[in-house]
Structure formats: C-alpha cells, structure tokens
Amino acid sequence: MSWRGVLVALFFYALFLGGFALGSLWSRPPVVVAAMLGNEPAAENSILVLAKKNKAEQQDPQAVVYCTHTSEEYCGQKRKNGVPGGVLSAAAALAEELEACGVKTLLLDEVFDAPDWNYAYANSLAAVEKVKKQYPDIELFIDVHRDSEVPGLDTNFSDGSGSYAKMMMIIGSDANLPHPDWKKNKKFAEKVNAAVEAAKPGLMRDPRIYNGRYNQHIGNKAFLVEVGSTANSVEQAQNSARILAGAIASSL
C-alpha cells in the first residue's frame, strides 16, 4: 500500500473512534451528560455528587454526645447498674438530629456509671479525652443527663406540636478544679439556651452554675444538659433533644 493509502486508512479509523466516543457520551442519561459538560447540576447519583458526599463523610466530627450517668431512666423507673437507661435514647435522638442539621457527631454509648457510680465522671472523662486526642479540633461536648424529680416542679411541657421534657443547662466553673475557660462554655450554653427558648418558650429551666467542672474543661463549647426528670417519658425526652439539636446547630 502506498503512503497515500496509509494516510486515508488512518483518517477513516480516526473518524470511527471519534464517532464511538460521542456515541458513548450521548448514550448517558441527559442530566449526567449535561453535568459533565458543565451545563446542568449533577444528578443525585453522578460521580460529581458522589465525590462531594464522600468528602463530607470523611470530615472530622464536630460534636460528641455522651451520658456520664448512662443508666439513668425515665417514667419513675430505677436505674439498673451496668444497663443503658432511657437517657441514652435521648442522647441518641440529639446526635441523630445534629447530624440531620449538618453537624457531624459522635455518640458515645458506653456505660460510664458502672460498676461504681462514683467513678462515672472519671470514666467519661477518659472516653472524651481519647476522642479529643484523635480529633483535637472538637470543642462541642454534650453530656446528657436526666434530672431527679423535683418537688413542686413540673418538668412536663406541651404545646400544639407535642409533649416535651423541660431541660436545664448545667455549667461547671473553676471553683474546685482548674478550668480557666469555663466562661466560654457559659457563653455558648447561654446562647443555646436562648435559641431553644426562641423556638419553644418555656421549654428551658433557668441555667445553673455549679462549683464542679463536670469534665467541661475538655472543650470551649462543652455543657451538661438535664433533659427532663423521672417524671417524664423517654419520648418526651427525645422530642426535647431534637429541639435542642436545632438550637445547637444554629448557635455554632
């Protein structure tokens, strides 16, 4: 074959390959093709969207939710040593709703108040310190508790949207142990408290400052929250926890 024949053969072969590539491209779903060409947003299952989702999933957590007194129960039930109580269900609802609000959250479900209730704070501190070591940028640590029934205080709250458990912020100070940044925690807790009250006036009890630091030295957005009391149900506590999550997310 002459050199002219070789050139002609190569020309038609190139046309064949180009047509095959275009056919492959245009055989894709329209939205995906448009996204590849930069004309339309990517489809839900396109490579571009999946890449963004994977990146989001790889982000470090922003919050830690745990229960120092993990066995605390609701509905007048007594705590069972070594068994997670209803308070963990409230914490799980909080963590789930924080995730739904875009706050990547770790839920620690270990039982910290067994076998010895007196070592609960030491046990939970060891756990959150381990998390802090792995993710040093986390500042938001939420310790979820259930309050004891308070004589003369009704911790039930209802409105047109449902039934809830009243909540109360507990803020630790530096009265007993070193805690130089405790006022940063106080400022954040008060901001969250105000956000809850703006959403549902009357759902929050007045915040309290105590002498203990309650492991809140672990971060500058750390607080303890009492979600209801023994007079409340688990469902009420979960409902309140979801409201709290929205307030936290809006306060970050």
Question: Is there a cis peptide before residue 115, judged by omega within 30 degrees of 0?
Answer: yes
In this predicted structure, what is the pLDDT of residue 125? 98
Q: Is the pLDDT of residue 19 over 60?
A: no
Is residue 51 very low, low, confident or very high in pLDDT (cuts 50, 70, 90)?
very low
Residue 212 domain flag: yes
What's the confidence (pLDDT) of residue 2?
55
Query: Could you tell me if residue 107 is inside a domain?
Result: yes
pLDDT band at 41 (very low <50, low <70, confident <90, very high): very low
Question: Does 49 map to a domain?
Answer: no
Q: Which helix (H) or strand (E) holds 238?
A: helix 234-251
> Following CA atoms 242, 139, 250, 228 in sequence, which dihedral angle do they give, to the nearest 10 degrees?
30
Rounded to two decimals, what is the model's pTM? Answer: 0.77
Coil, helix or strand at residue 252: coil
Nearest to 218 by CA among 103, 104, 137: 137
Q: CATH code at 188?
A: 3.40.630
Collapsing DSSP to helix, strand or coil, 232 comes out as coil
Q: What is the mean pLDDT of residues 230-252?
A: 97
Number of domains observed in the structure of the chain: 1
Q: Which residues of 97-129 are buried (b: 16+ CB within 10 A; e: fewer)?
A: bbbebebbbbbbeebbbbeeeeebbebbbebbe
Count of C-beta atoms within a 10 Å radius of residue 136: 9
Separation of alpha carbons 164 and 203, rounded Å? 8
90 within a domain of the structure (yes/no): yes
Of the listed ranges 73-77, 184-188, 192-196, 213-217, the least confidently predicted one is 73-77
Look at residue 155 and tell me if it is in a domain. yes
Residue 18, in any domain of the structure? no
* Residue 38 placed within a domain: no
pLDDT digits 0-9 by tens, 211-238 = 999 999 999 999 999 999 999 999 999 9
Tokens 């549902």, residue located: 200
**What's the pLDDT at 12?**
47
- How far apart, in whole angstroms, are the C-alpha atoms of residue 252 and residue 248? 6
* Cβ neighbours for 156, distance < 8 A, ≥ 6 positions apart: 163, 164, 165, 166, 231, 232, 236
pLDDT of 162 over the 50 cut? yes
Domain boundaries, position 211? 63-233
Whether 121 is covered by a domain: the verdict is: yes
